[in-house]
Chain A
Amino acid sequence: MSKDLTTPETFLTRKFGIDSHSIEKAMSNFLSGKTDYADLYFEYVISEALGLEEGLVKSASKNIAQGVGVRAIAGDKTGYAYSDEISLDQIQLAAKTASFIAAESGNSVLVPLKGVASPRLNLYPVETYPAGIPVEAKVRLLDKIDKMARDYDPRIKNVMASFTSEYKLILIVTSEGLVIGDIQPLCRLNITCIAEENGKRQAGSYGGGGRIGFSYFFEENRYILYTRKAARQAITNLEAVDTPAGTMDVVLGPGWPGILLHEAIGHGLEADFNRKRSSAFTDMIGKKVASELCTVVDDGTILQRRGSINIDDEGTETQRTILIEKGVLKGYLQDRLNAKLMNMPLTGNGRRESYAHPPLPRMTNTFLLPGEAAPMDIIRSVQKGLYAVAFGGGQVDITNGKFVFTASEAYLIEDGKVTVPVRGATLVGNGPDILKRVSMVGNDMELDAGVGTCGKDGQSVPVGVGMPTIKIDGITVGGTR
């Protein structure tokens, strides 16, 4: 990696010949309409991907994306334009388009820019970015995983493994004079195994990652753990029986099942939906939306996590925001536009997929704090129900609050014991109601391994979820029998 690209400060001047004086000028032209606020978001991303299947690392790719997004806000109106050419001309042009929303012209204000600030937090202290690790080392890792998965059980017939990494450099310049940058690494290792026996086939997947260096996957034998979990899930699912259908008690395992909170609660608390009064949680702050056992937070400041960021994509420092405290709804997730219009404080949740997208209020790492129950006691308390430990994706209709999430590994609980594995099934519930049914919260809080990607308005951002083991009294399970 060339030295020029290692700090946001040198990035613009060295690479594109743009200095802060010319940005100041561009910014003031831009603000000559009646805009309340404007910002520029510069981005440079190198991403790499390696893919293995059938025992071969067949695909390798490297992508370099760069661009600048220009945003103007007037009242509740947003104008946004972007270009993949980072030049003053392009910025001026984009600014003109973005200012379309400010119909009347006002006085031009020259904004004095401050020096480039560095984030106060340093959540991803990485020694060598994965892009700096030789490709051979990554190929070796994938080869090892393939062999290990096949050795796990002869019924494993195919292994798909991928390693992706991203090095993202951002610089944000606002009409309030703020200039701040960040370098955000992100990697992810994913393994899918296909198991086959007597003509029956099943898949099992596992993966993890975060804002970390390549060595992370070797520490604590993580890659071995991931491989075994993927292989075990595929083998376990070979034995799976039909899932019962209807309302029953469900125990969710720790970690990734926290996707429940993301879908059922998180999205409905994003400020835009509440400002527009289109969320099922509109006007519910201060009201009881969960059992007293439930405290839910969104925390963008956890070291190395996939959903963590030093600053959000509007330059605001991230924080720990309490969403639900002992069952009572406390707050929303804000970006600049909505915080201003709702007259509420910023929470550092203004995020975007890339320079090609305007920011939106988004989650970071969303999780339920631990309780006191021992996980075994929670399972023991269920006569007949479901124990779900791994999930695929989920989705929510934020207006009526109905959400789903789909189990990829689940078991029956019979007389307080986990018995046979069942086929994947969708669980469906109602956001403002579901956490009221949480009757036990375990002491085994875990964050997920680092694979979550959240979609909203066509924009994907990396997120984290987490949860201890919990028991829900009565949720509808979409089985077949």
Chain B
Amino acid sequence: MDINIEIALELIEKAKKRGATEGDILIIEGELSTVQVRLSSIDKITDSNFKSLGLRLFFDKKSAITSTSDLTPESLDRLIEDTCSIAKLTAKDDYAGLPLLQYGMRIKKLDLYDDYVHHLSVEEMIEIAKEAEAAAFSYDDRITNSDSGNFSKRYTHVIYANTNGFCGDYKTSTFSLSVTPIATMNGQMQRDHWYSTKRKFVRLDKPADVGEQAAMRTVGRLGARKVHTQQAPVVFDPETASSLLSNLCMALSGYSIYKGASFLLGMLNKQIASPDVTIHDDGTIPWGIGSKPFDAEGIAARKTTMVEKGVLTSYLLDSYSARKLNLTSTGNASRSPSEPPVVAPTNFYLYPGNYSPSDIIKSVDSGLYVTELIGFGFNPVTGDYSRGAVGTWIENGELTYPVEEITIAGNIKEMLMQIEMVGNDLDFRQKICAPTIKVGRLTIAGH
């Protein structure tokens, strides 16, 4: 049962009566079901309803946030009470407040909700997960075990209202299938995974394809070894290239910039990457995993060019970080009901280039094709980058043997400048995505 938007409007009125100069309400409710199968049998099934209401109030530039999952009138009255009393104890922050209401702002209706999310049965979810897992087993005899096959569906309803007169809501659905097989050879065990996540059920990759891809990636890791410490070109597959873009997002956040915690401070309108690099953030892509009609402050979704031909053209901003930097919000406010806004990308992607992935691999005499990165070795303040890597060694333009237990390291400032080739294989598989890319030279540490 959906929560009525009136709850939000009523709370806003009550808060105003209590003297709040500004305020907003964010309600997120929904349903989540997951199934996990293993070796063709059910392992775990979960099912839930969730809801949470966050109230943020400003009293002359002092603010506080409270949240609860208890939406009874008594609980909400106490919430207002708490918010009022906590807010008075915080410091006055001249930049605090809501964005001005943008008159004439057009909220685009985006296709983000497939009502099949309410009709897809647990039995069907189990069958899909089983089919995908089975496909992994039949792909190769060396697939001997399985961590799991997973299917999940999520329905989310977001309601947002503020004292500037904004009031809106939207619904989204997400369907996700993943498989994690385990392969064995000569006593060595390897696992990898593959997945498909879509807002519309029929757009999901076929279960057999997900299973086979997972198996292929897993078997490809068998016999992995270390390489010698050296400097060499590194080709990032779309998954790892996306993770590099996630690192970049941290440094592009308006909050990191005004706090002086980003290597991109002062780089606006300057060359930060090779001319082959163009990056967009686009919240308006129909059925996009990162799309939303408006952000967590009610600002309409838009498309922003972040980097154009290597030149930094925008930071990721909400209204607060924009005011701090004397810029305007890019509509990237994001928050959970219990926390103040932060900025987050919508659909953030590296614009595809002209090279096929095989062209890129062929261009490398001796280097690394990286398919998985682990650890948290990125420092957004300095750009220093050092992560555990898994992949395949490239010799004379050909993929040869798998490698592991190595690191790749450099500084992201130089890495961005050294993006020599950008692939044509962009696929919107997640919020942040990129095609295959080649970075000219990184330090690979091994034995």
Contacts and interface: CB of A to CB of B under 8 A. Distances in A.
Determine if chain A interacts with chain B. yes
Interface of A: 47, 49-51, 53-54, 56-67, 76-84, 94, 97-98, 100-101, 135-136, 139, 157-158, 160, 194, 196, 201-203, 243, 245-247, 276-278, 280, 356, 358, 392-397, 399-400, 402-406, 423-426, 428-430, 476-481
A283 to B, nearest CB: 11
In the A-B complex, list the 6 residue pairs whose CB atoms are closest, starting with the nearest. Answer: A478-B407, A404-B388, A404-B375, A246-B229, A56-B91, A426-B377
Contacts of A196: 260
B410 A480 contact: yes
A20 to B, nearest CB: 23
A84 B224 CA distance: 46
Given A53-B259, A67-B69, A158-B260, A402 B87 contact: no
Contact of A402 (B89, B91, B338, B404): B404
B182 interface: yes
- Which of B339, B384, B446 is packed against the most chain A CB atoms within 10 Å? B384
B382 A395 contact: no
A101 B445 contact: no
Given A82-B48, A404-B407, A59 B340 contact: yes
B305 interface: no
Contacts of B65: 59-62
Given A61-B338, A139-B90, A430 B409 contact: no
Contacts of A97: 45, 47
B243 interface: no
Nearest to B265: A201
A201 to B, nearest CB: 5
Nearest to B380: A203
Interface string B428-447: 00000000000000011111
Contacts of A101: 42, 45
Contact of B404 (A396, A400, A479): A400
A100 B406 CA distance: 45
Given A51-B340, A62-B86, 16 more contacts: A60-B86, A61-B338, A62-B65, A64-B68, A139-B90, A157-B260, A203-B379, A243-B386, A245-B445, A276-B147, A278-B189, A393-B375, A399-B191, A426-B386, A478-B377, A479-B386
A84 B63 contact: no
B260 A201 contact: yes
A113 to B, nearest CB: 25
B261 interface: yes
23 contacts: A54-B259, A60-B64, A61-B67, A61-B338, A64-B66, A65-B52, A65-B68, A79-B44, A79-B45, A81-B48, A82-B46, A98-B45, A101-B45, A245-B229, A392-B377, A394-B376, A395-B388, A400-B191, A424-B379, A428-B406, A476-B405, A476-B406, A478-B377
B382 A201 contact: yes
B191 A476 contact: no
A133 B410 CA distance: 46
Interface in B84-134: 86-87, 89-93, 96, 122
A400 B87 contact: no
Interface in B331-360: 338-340
Contacts of A479: 386, 409, 443, 445
Contacts of A397: 191, 374, 390
B368 to A, nearest CB: 13
A399 B82 contact: no
Contacts of A201: 260-261, 263, 265, 381-382
A61 B375 contact: no
Nearest to B261: A194
B69 A429 contact: no
Interface in B399-427: 404-411
Given A158-B259, A358-B44, A136 B89 contact: yes
A78 B67 contact: no
B50 to A, nearest CB: 6
Chain B interface residue number, banded? 35 or more
Contacts of B69: 64-67, 84
B278 interface: no
B4 interface: no
Nearest to A192: B261
B376 A100 contact: no
B366 interface: no
B49 interface: yes
Contact of A78 (B44, B82, B443): B44
A62 B90 contact: no
A277 B404 CA distance: 21
A400 B13 CA distance: 57
A358 B45 CA distance: 10
B54 to A, nearest CB: 8
B308 to A, nearest CB: 25
A472 to B, nearest CB: 14
Contacts of A76: 41, 43
B192 to A, nearest CB: 9
Given A60-B86, A246-B229, A202 B382 contact: yes
Interface in B193-209: none
Contacts of B261: 158, 194, 201, 203
Contacts of B174: none
A477 B406 CA distance: 9
B51 interface: yes
B90 A57 contact: yes
B386 A406 contact: yes
B188 interface: yes
Given A58-B91, A397-B374, A480 B409 contact: yes
B140 interface: no
Contacts of A84: 49-52, 69-70
A135 B89 contact: yes
B260 A81 contact: no
Contacts of A247: 229, 445-447
